Amino acid sequence: MMFSRSSLLSLLVLGLQAPLQVSAKLDANETDGRFILANDRFYTAIDKSIGSVVSLTLDGQDLLGPKSGATGQGPYLNCYCIPSGFWTPGTQKPSYELYSGTDSTGTAYGGVKMSDTYIATGQVLEQYWFLRDGETGLHTFSRVAYHNETTPFLRNLQELRTMFRPNTDIWTHLLTNKGHYAPLPGSEATSKQVTVQDATWYLGNTPDDTYVKELADYFTKYTFSDPWRDLDAYGLFADGSHTPDGSTYGAWLVMNTKDTYFGGPTHSDLTVDGIVYNYISSNHHGDQTPDITNGFDRTFGPAYYYFNRFPEGSDILALHEDAAKFADPTWNAEFYDSIAEHVTNYVPSSKRATWKLHVDLPQNAKRPLAVLSQNGVDFQENVLDTKAYQYWANIDDEGYATIPMVKEGTYRLTIYADGVFGHYIKDDVVVTASSGVSVMQMTHARWREETEGVEIWRLGYPDRSAGEYRHGTARDTKHTLHPEEYRIYWGAYDFVEDFPEGVRFKVGESKEAEDWNYIHWSVFGGRSNYNRPEPYVGDGNVNNWTVAFDLDKAQIEWKRQATLTVQLAGVKTAAGNTDVYNASEPYANLPYTVSINGQDLEPWVIPYNQSSSCGVRSAVICYGVAHKFIFKPELLREGENEFVLSLPYNGTNYESALLAETVYVQYDALRFEINDVFETPLPQSHHPPPHHPLISSSCSLWFSLDQHSFFSSLVRPNVRGADGVLPPYFANTFWANLWKVVGLLGVTTWSSVGAIYLARPLLRARGSFPWYIATAALATGHLLFVPLVAPSVAALIEDRGGQASSEGQAKGKKSNSDYMRDWLGVNLVRMVTTDLGAWACAVVAVTTTFTLS
């Protein structure tokens, strides 16, 4: 089934829904076995015996179906957080609270809190549901608390999720984002499915099934996972084929806030697979999870489970658009402030502020993003402080970004962009709130792309994704919905057939989308590969990939250093996605080796806690890592050169689940650079160049001006006796001040040279590199005037002019005053050229380098 764009009828419904909400009436009450939250359109019931929603209707239509086992319920809370694994709170010894009231906008609301304690450990899980008058959705919060001094470490919060889990055939489709949706597999397809991997099935035995025709021969929940960055709403769609009047329905999780999740914008997780998830914490794609230790107490949310109804024939995208409009942290802020007294740990608006950024971006930055996260650590690791929140926003073309509702605190600012290697980091960004006052706070930044010299080539596109390579984000051409290929089960693509001779990429000739695979395997096939059940290790043509490139003589002669930067979008070591070190696994820490023209460089050992199960779980954005391989240019040669990128031969690990055993990496991008004799690598955040050239050149200019002013006053016509005073005075001051002049010039020259040598990448990035060169050159140029002043200096010191006499002057002999005037003439030229010039260049050099650093 294909969908058209929003119909006129659908758009009219969007406009009509607001009036429908006005007349609703809120009911919040308790019966013997249930809590009821309802208004004129929406009804939900929470079963006291299990702590879950068991009835949910919209305009009289049952959206859940009957409870059967784990289905026919939700939203409800579930975790993998007790010593034995999974636990669904509400079944041990739950307690409840019922709320009702009117918020600050005058709108009635009702709510229920379920709290349960896992008796063996004492950890507390709480789930909140709130319904507002006039709305057709549930505002949810989830809390985890652990206070146990006897056992201060419990375990990690491996999974925390809420689920809407229906048991009714009205739901026909599922949607991750507006570019990725599909029909659900039919009952015949699921009855004939073949398990090929953990939570992955082959459906090709039913080629006429709508899902198989439109999306893929394989179904897995990972096909519908997505990174958090731009995700707004996702869920289930009922096309009306199983509703009494043909009405269409949607069940959506709206991510109206993301600040209490972990892992930042690159966190990737499950969204929908017949269940509508709110995956609060998990390590599915190598995402970090917090440890549950004594004192852990965090409330997650709000998240909004929204349900909508549209007329018969309405488009899935129209219903999704209606849901996505609520994905705004400022939406319903007044309501959340009003219920803050009921929700433990919720931070009201009075403790938040609007934060704004202006950044000077690199020229080639595309889709730039600003991230506020835990101070002092990579935002991918922001689980270390469970009180820290996270925020992000796109940066516009003028370099501005605005994030509302930021909790007061101290943050790390990270800026990254497509097309740019590396990122910008600034710690100790303080956000403060003024109680009862809307506060706007501005941070300024200047970011330049990191560089290690002259770029020779790059392979791929730096965007924290492996999507540009073969079987990445390229669209499938065999199915009518044309999904991105990486979303489909990895075993659908046979590496051995695609690259029978292995991967050999020739820079300038090969194409990333055809000649570079989206996964670099150590061994291909074997366990969990339905189409190639026997592992293929090859003869080194699987684990070793080659990049060939040409160099001319000028690119390698008189060079100081060469650098290959490797940025990975994901890497799977033997640790999988567990972050647990196993000494029995030889590749828990994964050695990644690069050789240049047959010479191995020092291996990059990727640690176990940066591992992610990425590509085999249908992802191209996971835990990103990077490394620079630095070596001497003597290893390069004129003509063709080769890098060989190597994983261990037949590198595997034990997998308890049905998953691929091979280790692998997924490339974001590679870049090769060569530095000349003046260059040395320097990250822009380390050891900025000194201010010394500006200080010393200022002193030189002042000293020169002072000398010129003083000696000029001695040779004015109205001054008598200068010829007798000048020789002894000049001789004494000359020798006394010579070391000062030379010393200041030396400081200016050598501090400028030092800056050029130690910080050339930074100076080039900020445009100050030529100004430091000019400063050094002009300071040295001061000495070029020595031959011009030397005769005057010698004459004055030796008193050649004596006392001027009429007779001497008549014969054309110079007086000491004449020699002084000669010296002053040369000194003036020297002062306004080299001294003033060096000072002016130093001003530009230093201010350009340090402004907005």
Lookup: tokens for 816? 């000491």
Q: Binning pLDDT at 50, 70 and 90, where does residue 716 land? A: confident
Tokens of 675: 């530095």
Q: Is the pLDDT of residue 23 over 60?
A: no
Cα–Cα distance, 453 to 759 (Å, whole number): 11
pLDDT tens digit sequence for 566-617: 999 999 999 998 889 999 999 999 999 999 999 999 999 999 999 999 999 9
Mean pLDDT of 169-176: 98
Please choose, from the candidates 82, 147, 138, the residue with its C-alpha nearest in 3D space to the C-alpha of residue 113: 138
**3-class DSSP state for residue 750?**
helix
The tens digit of pLDDT for each residue in 61-94 reads 999 999 999 999 999 999 999 999 999 999 998 9
Asked if residue 22 has pLDDT above 60, the reply is no
Mean pLDDT score of the chain, rounded to an integer? Answer: 91
What DSSP element (H or E) covers 692? helix 692-714
Tokens 């949810």 correspond to: 140
Question: For 352-356, 679-683, 823-827, which range has the lowest pLDDT when averaged over its residues?
Answer: 679-683
* pLDDT at res. 798: 84
Q: What is the mean pLDDT of residues 320-332?
A: 98
The answer to whether the CB of 605 falls within 8 A of the CB of 593 is no
Lowest mean pLDDT among 5-9, 108-112, 409-413, 511-515: 5-9
- pLDDT at res. 851: 57
| 26-38 mean pLDDT | 96
Going by the DSSP 8-state scheme, the letter that residue 490 receives in this structure is G
pLDDT band, very low/low/confident/very high, at 228 (cuts 50, 70, 90): very high
Confidence band for 178, pLDDT divided at 50, 70 and 90 = very high
pLDDT at 767 over 90: no
> Does residue 769 or residue 200 have the better pLDDT?
200
Query: Integer distance in angstroms from the first to the last C-alpha of the chain?
Result: 54
Q: Confidence class of residue 397 from pLDDT cuts 50, 70 and 90?
A: very high
- Per-residue model confidence (pLDDT) at position 719: 76
Mean pLDDT is lowest, of 243-247, 249-253, 680-684, 830-834, for 680-684
Share of the chain above pLDDT 90, in %: 76
Residue 319 phi/psi, 5-degree rounding, is -70, -35
pLDDT above 70 for 247: yes
Instruction: Report the alpha-carbon distance of residue 18 to residue 322 in Å, rounded.
Output: 11
Q: Read out DSSP for 525-544?
A: SSTT-SS--S-B-TTSTTTE
Residues 74 and 140 sit within 8 Å (Cβ to Cβ): no
Number of other residues whose CB lies within 10 A of the CB of residue 133 = 20
pLDDT band at 853 (very low <50, low <70, confident <90, very high): very low
What was the pLDDT predicted at 296?
Answer: 97
User: Regarding predicted confidence, which is higher, 692 or 665?
Assistant: 665
Residue 769, pLDDT > 80, answer: yes
pLDDT at 679: 46
Query: Which of 297, 220, 282, 276 has its CA nearest to residue 76?
Result: 276
| 217-246 mean pLDDT | 98
Give the per-residue pLDDT at 471. Answer: 98
Whether 315 has a pLDDT exceeding 90, the answer reads: yes
CB 394 within 8 A of CB 371: no
Q: At what angle do helices 836-850 and 769-781 cross, to 10 degrees?
A: 160
Q: When comparing pLDDT for 163 and 560, which is higher?
A: 163
Statement: residue 545 has pLDDT above 70: yes
* Mean pLDDT across 374-381: 97
pLDDT of residue 627: 98
Q: Can you give the pLDDT at residue 101?
A: 97
CA angle 661, 662, 665 (to 5 degrees): 135
Q: Quick one: pLDDT band at residue 709, thresholds 50, 70, 90? A: confident
More confident residue, 796 or 304: 304
Q: Is the pLDDT of residue 238 over 80?
A: yes
Residue 464, pLDDT above cutoff 50: yes
342 or 806: which leads in pLDDT? 342
Segment 198-204 mean pLDDT: 97
| Among 19-33, 276-290, 672-686, the least confident range | 672-686
Does residue 639 surpass a pLDDT of 60?
yes
pLDDT category at 690 given cuts 50, 70, 90 is low
Say if residue 208 is exposed, middle or buried (CB neighbours under 10 Å; 0-12, 13-18, 19+): exposed
Per residue in 803-831, pLDDT tens?
Answer: 544 444 545 678 888 888 888 899 999 99
- Relative orientation angle of helices 722-758 and 786-797, to the nearest 10 degrees: 150
On the question of pLDDT at 357 being above 80, the answer is yes
The SS3 assignment for 181 reads strand
One-letter-per-residue 3-state SS of 759-818: CHHHHHHHCCHHHHHHHHHHHHHHHHHHHHHHHHHHHHHCCCCCCCCHHHHHCCCCCHHH
* 474 against 852, higher pLDDT: 474
Q: Which of 165-169, 417-421, 554-558, 705-709 has the lowest mean pLDDT?
A: 705-709
- pLDDT of 437 reads 55
What pLDDT does residue 797 have?
Answer: 83
